[in-house]
Structure 1
Amino acid sequence: MKKKQEIQMLKDFSNANAISGFEGEFVKLFTDKVKKLADVTVDGMLNVYAAKKENTGNRPVIQLDAHSDAVGFMTQAVRPNGAIKFVPVGGWVKYNIPGTKVKIRNKAGKYIPGVVATKPPHFMTKAEQESIPEIKDMSIDVGSSSREETLNDYQIDTGCPIFVDVDCQYNEDTGIFFGKDFDDRFGAAAMVSILDNLKDKKTNFDVVCALSSQEEVGLRGAYVTARKIKPDLALVLESCPADDTFEPDWLSQTGLKRGPMLRDMDTTFIPNPKFQQYACDLADKKHIPYTRSVRTGGGQDGAAIYYENGAPTIVIGIPVRYEHSPYCFSAYQDFKASVDLACAIINDITQEKLDSFKRF
């Protein structure tokens, strides 16, 4: 796939509206991209299975994983003044929410613009100026002046999903993207590019890409996809939080333009160490930049896939600044290096090497 096509795909993927449980818009976009490269099926949870067309069905299977959902919000109730009381979907902190521009999909399927309301400083007490309200006390304003207007004219009620509304931009001079939901739309785009790079090429293993739903609320889709695919090996293409703007150089383990992050630990996952080292050695051999990280927070689909049947699993992370906020930065060259590393592994892996990951 040409660079220009990849950049446009990344922008389109970022702009799609898809939070946990409401992944349909992005699932359609993704399946349209891969249907010429793979045999595609979708289950009732909106997990997507894209099997490389050259698969034979009688070889070991590599599962590639990325997730389709992003963090967002959901309408809980409509207040008497017409403002919307909401709950977070996925891992938000209150500091990142006030003033966020959003869009709400109403009961008719129409997107209604809104904003997480903030009180003007003119009306704040000194205590209010120095604090941030709890999420349960925040509201989204869509321009309504009464509960009845919101319910009837705007057709917004309990259960309507709420999406961050930020348009993705790409700076040709710096190679940097700015936008929303890079977690994990960039991982999903990586799977498309990997399938495109492998088109008409022979591999030693069958390859099945899984676009998993509901990762942000408990890795739910990945448990289902791993159970169905039964992989012998798994590569998780995850967008991972960069720490290069707040950690000292000696401690920073993930940063823009430093290549993908290979995760040695998080709160849910420790990879197969021999597979992890193999990936690092292969990256060194191919001159693909990467970093390694030990995390004291976070989790991702690799845990669910690994737990389900013990297939050796690693995470190839695309660095993203300010993950789980409305506004993110990511570098094209990190995306490309992640694709290159995944393709190198798929092209190099053999049964003998897979068996070596299981020896002790």
Structure 2
Amino acid sequence: MTAPTHRSPTARDRLRTLLRDLMIIPGLSGYEDRVRRHIARELTGLGIASRSDRLGNLIATLEGDATAPSVMLFAHIDQLGLVVRKIEADGLVRVERLGGLPEKALPAQAVLFCVGEGRDVPGIIANKSHHATSPDEKYRVLPYPELYVDAGFGSAAEALAAGIDIGTPIVYAPKVIELAGNRIAGTSVDDRAGCAVIVEVARQLQKAPQHPTVHLVFSVQEEFNLRGALTAAQTLSPDIAIQLDIILATDTPDMAARGDVRLGGGPAMGLYSFHGRGTLNGTIPHPALVNLFTDTAREEGLALQRSAHIGALTDSSYVQLVNAGVASIDLGYPTRYTHSSLEVCDLADLEGLTQLLAAGLTRIDGTFSLDRDDPMR
């Protein structure tokens, strides 16, 4: 009888496992501790020491070629959600929004009050009974102050006894759904997928014969006006910042006019981002980094999609302004249905992004120029 063979896990297997694990851990902006501790344990398993700062960022440093520009590779660990604003006498809960939740997608969503590990409380955002909905109400999007969460309590005292109080964080009920074709749907793909990629890149850099000093940063409060990565950059003073996050997929009918980024078409590079609402900020990448990853993709036979859009921005928009300026670029993975409770990404894109980063980082050595007037560029 032949003994069964045991296949060693591939990079895609590891990305799938870690992404699934991270997506089910709640971590609203400002309350990311559980996520940070999980990633710290993953790094410890790789023999990589890490530390956290006062704001909650997790930082690890892979020492490398001291003559090469130093790199900060980062992704955010927080997610958007809600906080408790008021508990009504009947036990129903009013909320404030934290981050860019789409109000039209909130009614009838399952949520989780993050009271503490083993003590979290499920609830649902109420949706008025269809049988009592007037014709004009059917097409009205309720502003979030009019919404309320029902956790089954009959009084405010019951909610308080369960650990729910003013300021308690609330997230979409964590879930992971495996779709066809290695696609993953669920909560907080943004940006737990980027975090999983960084861990896998760290694993591969440990085997590389040469790389620059790379600071791995898992940042906090990105969804709360892009705060955590800025403090990390001020401390680390990197020469280069590479930010990993979602890139808007445009391969569905509602997004077709926004660009040419396809889910499953490989990782993507941001050539222009601008928020355009409230926070007037964005990122135009440093040309040396655009060339680096364009050339790396071509030489390694990797797909690399390109994105330029208004309506979103990332931590790099502030990190680039630290000290005398940081050469910055946004890289990422195509994502559908962003900021909803069921975002979708493709594991093949995450694997491709890992390969692109691992190969590109090893090309940064003492001769790598960030001079804007370099005659070779």
TM-score category by the smaller chain? over 0.9
Q: Give yes or no for contact 1:106–1:157 (8 Å, CA) kept in 2.
A: no
Checking the alignment, whether the CA contact within 8 Å between 1:107 and 1:156 is kept in structure 2 is: no
Q: Is the 8 A contact 1:23 1:68 kept in 2?
A: yes
Q: How far apart, in 1, do the equivalents of 2:21 and 2:29 lie?
A: 18
**CA distance change for structure 1 residues 250 and 280 in 2, over 3 Å: closer, same or farther?**
farther
CA contact (8 A) 1:107 1:157 kept: no
Alignment-mate amino acid for residue 58 of structure 2? V
Query: Structure 1 301/342 Cα, relative in aligned 2: closer, same or farther at 3 Å?
Result: same
Q: 2: distance between equivalents of 1:37 and 1:170? A: 30
Structure 2 CA distance for aligned equivalents of residues 330 and 118 of structure 1: 28
User: SS in structure 2 opposite 1:126?
Assistant: coil
Cα distance in 1 for partners of 2:363, 2:68 equals: 15
Pick from 166, 169, 174 the counterpart of residue 177 of structure 2: 169
Separation in structure 2 between the aligned mates of residue 129 and residue 91 of structure 1, nearest angstrom: 23
CA contact (8 A) 1:47 1:213 kept: yes
Question: Quick one: which of 161, 185, 190 aligns to 1:178?
Answer: 185
Conserved? CA contact 1:31–1:40, under 8 Å? yes
Q: Aligned partner of 2:176: which letter?
A: C
Match of 1:99 in 2: 108
- CA RMSD, aligned part only? 2.0
CA distance in 2, matches of 1:191, 1:107: 27
Specify every segment of 5 or more residues in structure 1 that has no aligned partner in the other structure, as ranges: none
Q: CA separation of 1:147/1:251 partners in 2, compared to 1, >3 Å: closer, same or farther?
A: closer
Distance in 2, matches of 1:323 and 1:119, equals 25
Q: What is the TM-score of this pair, normalised by structure 1?
A: 0.93
Could you say which structure has the higher helix fraction? 1
- The answer to whether the Cα contact below 8 Å between 2:250 and 2:257 also exists between their aligned partners in 1 is no
8 Å contact from structure 2 (residues 249, 255) kept in 1: no
The answer for the alignment partner of 2:74 in structure 1 is 65
CA contact (8 A) 1:15 1:168 kept: yes
Do structure 1's residue 285 and structure 2's residue 292 form an aligned pair? no
Aligned-partner Cα distance in 2 for 1:216–1:296: 17
Letter in 1 for 2:270: R
Q: Find the counterpart in structure 2 of residue 332 from structure 1.
A: 347
Corresponding residue for residue 50 of structure 1: 60
Alignment of 1:240-279 (within 5 A): 240-246=247-253, 251-267=258-274, 268-279=282-293
Q: CA deviation at 1:180?
A: 0.8
**Please, which runs of 5 or more residues in structure 2 have no aligned partner?**
1-8, 275-281
What residue is the counterpart of 1:16 in the other structure?
Answer: 25
Question: What is the CA–CA distance in structure 1 between the aligned matches of 2:255 and 2:146, rounded to whole Å?
Answer: 35
Equivalence for 2:326: 311
For residue 278 of structure 1, what is the amino acid of its counterpart?
L
Instruction: Select the residue among 119, 127, 135 that pairs with 1:110.
Output: 119
Counterparts of 2:255 and 2:61, CA distance in 1: 42
Cα shift at 1:200? 3.8
- Aligned-residue sequence identity (percent) comes to 24
Show the 5 A alignment for 1:65-144: 65-106=74-115, 110-144=119-153
CA–CA distance in 1 between the matches of 2:64 and 2:286? 25
Distance, in Å, in 1 between the alignment partners of 2:163 and 2:203 is 42
Q: Deviations over 1:205-263 (max 9, x none)?
A: 11110111000111100110111111111211112232221357575332211111211
- Taking structure 2 as the reference length, the TM-score comes to 0.89
SS in 1 for 2:369: helix
| 2:360 paired with 1:350 | no
Distance 1:74 1:335 in 2: 31
Letter of the structure 2 residue corresponding to residue 276 of structure 1: V
**2:75–2:243 CA contact under 8 A, matched in 1:** yes
Instruction: State the distance in 2 between where 1:32 and 1:12 align.
Output: 12
The farther-off stretch of 55-64 and 131-140 is 55-64
The one-letter code sitting in structure 2 at the alignment partner of 1:38 is I
Structure 1 residues 102 and 351 mapped into 2: Cα distance closer, same or farther (>3 Å)?
Answer: same
Moved over 4 A (4+): 56-59, 247-251
1:341 aligns with 2:349: no
Aligned 1:142-157 pairs, distance under 5 A: 142-152=151-161, 154-157=162-165
Count, aligned residues: 357
User: Which deviates the most, 244-253 or 327-336?
Assistant: 244-253
Q: What is the rounded CA distance, in whole Å, between the counterparts of 2:154 and 2:93 in structure 1?
A: 11
When structure 1 is superposed on structure 2, of 298-307 and 143-152 the one drifting more is 143-152
The aligned counterpart of 2:203 is: 196
In the alignment, the residues of structure 1 paired with residue 65 and residue 361 of structure 2 have an alpha-carbon distance, to the nearest angstrom, of 15
CA distance in 2 between counterparts of 1:57 and 1:48 reads 23
CA 1:178–1:114 in structure 2 vs 1: closer, same or farther (change >3 Å)?
A: same
Instruction: Note closer, same or farther for the CA distance 1:321–1:31 as it changes in structure 2 (3 Å cut).
Output: same
